[in-house]
Amino acid sequence: MDLLGTASLLMTVTALFAYVNYRFIRLPNTIGVMVISLVFSLAMVLLSKAGLTMGVEYTEKLLSGVDFDATLMEGMLSFLLFAGALHINLNELLDKQWVVGILASVGVITSTFIVGISSYYILGLFDINLPFIYCMLFGSLIAPTDPVAVLSILKTANASKSLETKIAGESLFNDGIAVVVFLVILGIAVGGDSHGGGATVTPLSVAGLFFQETIGGGVFGLIIGWTCYRLLKSVDNYHVEVLLTLALVMGGYAAARAMHISGPIAIVIAGLFIGNHGRRFAMSDKTRENLDTFWELVDEILNAVLFMLIGLEIIVMNLNGNSITAGVLMFFVVLAARWIAVGIPVSILKLRQSFHPHVVSILTWGGIRGGISVALALSLPLGPERDVIVAITYVIVIMSVVLQGLSIKSLVQYAAGQHQLPESER
């Protein structure tokens, strides 16, 4: 099937699943689509075991034509990050910069080490022999919270502006740090430069990669954001202005990747610039309304397609009893690592500012893993290590999206009802 046929079929299936969810199940749209996809996938697997393999073979053929890593990391991600950053208040983000910055850096690194070391011993209990360096690689790809999942689910949680800024801000930025850590560990695992060269990984090369990816991405994001802002300010036609933001996202992300700097960070910075400075000084009320409507629609459609793909991927996953059990156990390890990575910095920051009493619980439970972790796992070189990591990552992501995504709203409402929010948390 050609690209148009594959895209058409995926969009049709997504629309049908979204319709069924809206009419009969009433879960949050993205979670509902994923749950229906999971049920559909499990039904297909059971039918194949009963001898009816035609549907499974066709679905496997369809999914084999979809490169999940490329679809998300090189296709959907830039649109989803821009749509999320567009609606974050920059003043509130700057007010929470220390919390967001520490969680997006120290938190990711801390979680990587805790999960990596724990998985080495836990997987051994299930006769899963994964080399230590690959355990650390697994820790790095499962450490970041996923902005795609988090931003989608936060819309239904009715969290305070302060909590939403912390969770969403961290999720938008921590993937940049996580990708750097992932690339460094991958370079060690494959015996050289993870970009394809043969350079030895050294502390200097790690620092250079960090600077190039994060600082370079941030500076480039400011440049393209400012350029787009000047163009937006010179016209008053929402058709042209929507096209300019599309060009910013697509062209900016492609250019960042070509320069080997962080495309996600560049797009987040550009999105924050346009969503705050651009919205205030370069757009009419009509443009703001149409721009918001357009990007909210893009966000909803791509989220639905992405979560549908996550649900269908179970058909082509190499899952067995050991990997499922190990994945379930590692889900709780990942949660514990998140609790430690959040709890320590928040406890230190409490010396200088006030926090809601349940902020650690909410930040821990709100740290949802999603498609980015699956995409990073699928980007690993082919081999038995990849099969193990992909299977366990998939189990953790499914549990995270369903369990945490469906209950975060109740946790936020319970916390808000138990304690009056201090001024800094409202």
Q: Is the pTM of this model over 0.75?
A: yes
Among residues 90, 124, 80, 132, the alpha carbon closest in space to that of 300 is found at 80
Residue 316: what pLDDT? Answer: 80
Backbone angles phi, psi at 184, to 5 degrees: -65, -50
Which one has a higher pLDDT value, 297 or 49? 297
pLDDT in tens, 146-184: 877 777 777 777 777 777 888 888 888 887 788 878 888
Residue 22: what pLDDT? Answer: 96
Residue 361: what pLDDT? Answer: 92
Mean pLDDT is lowest, of 65-79, 130-144, 370-384, for 65-79
Long-range (24+ apart) CB contacts under 8 A made by 244-250 are: 245/82, 245/274, 245/291, 245/295, 248/82, 248/224, 248/274, 249/78, 249/79, 249/82, 250/78
Buried b (16+ CB within 10 A) or exposed e, 110-141: bbbbbbbebbbebbeebebebeebbbbbbbbb
Mean pLDDT is lowest, of 36-50, 108-122, 411-425, for 411-425
Residues 284 and 235 sit within 8 Å (Cβ to Cβ): no
Which one has a higher pLDDT value, 117 or 413? 117
Residue 183: what pLDDT? Answer: 83
Which one has a higher pLDDT value, 65 or 324? 324
Residue 418: what pLDDT? Answer: 66
Instruction: State the chain's maximal CA–CA distance in angstroms.
Output: 64
Residue 204: what pLDDT? Answer: 80
Average pLDDT of the chain to the nearest whole number: 87
420 has a pLDDT exceeding 60: no
Buried b (16+ CB within 10 A) or exposed e, 74-101: ebbbbbbbbbbbbbbeeeebeebeebbb
- In the chain, the domains with their CATH numbers are 69-425 (1.20.1530.20)
Residue 147: what pLDDT? Answer: 79
What does the pLDDT average to over 35-59? 81
Which one has a higher pLDDT value, 42 or 150? 42
What does the pLDDT average to over 193-202? 56
What does the pLDDT average to over 225-246? 96
pLDDT in tens, 332-343: 999 999 999 999
Which one has a higher pLDDT value, 299 or 357? 299
